[in-house]
Amino acid sequence: MRRDIFQAIADPTRRAIMTIIALQAMTPNAIADHFNCTRQSISKHLRILTECKLVKPEQQGREIYYSLEIEKIKEIDKWLNPFRKIWETRFNQLDNVLSTIKKQKK
């Protein structure tokens, strides 16, 4: 079943997992140490993230290490970019209004 990346990142645990492995690949057990849930629960989250290609498993000996897929994260950023521009414009407009009010009070 192909999952949508936005469904994957909607879950706070999955977002936290992505944050944890952003700097360094980790095993499921190492990831699970950061949470108050079962190893099976972390495995389920990792499976969903893997299906969405947000994380990549890599076998190293007997262990599987999960790392963040930066290219897929760029897709999310690309989708967010128009919204970021809208907010930046609105904040700039608010800055201008506040500046004008501040000048009028002097």
Q: Is the pLDDT assigned to residue 67 strictly greater than 70?
A: yes
Residue 58 in this model has a pLDDT that exceeds 90:
yes
Domain definitions of the chain by residue range: 1-68, 70-106
Has residue 2 got a pLDDT over 70?
no
Report the percent of the chain where pLDDT is more than 90.
74
> Which pLDDT band, with edges at 50, 70 and 90, does 1 fall under?
low
Q: What is the pLDDT of residues 25-53, one digit of tens each?
A: 999 999 999 999 899 999 999 999 999 99
Q: Given pLDDT bands bounded at 50, 70 and 90, which one contains residue 102?
A: confident
In the prediction, which pLDDT does 20 show? 95
Residues 69-96 have a mean pLDDT of 91
Domain 1-68 has CATH 3.40.630.30: no
pLDDT of residue 44: 95
DSSP string, the chain: -PPPHHHHHHSHHHHHHHHHTSSS-B-HHHHHTTSSS-HHHHHHHHHHHHHTTSEEEEEETTEEEEEE-HHHHHHHHHHHHHHHHHHHHHHHHHHHHHHHHHHHH-
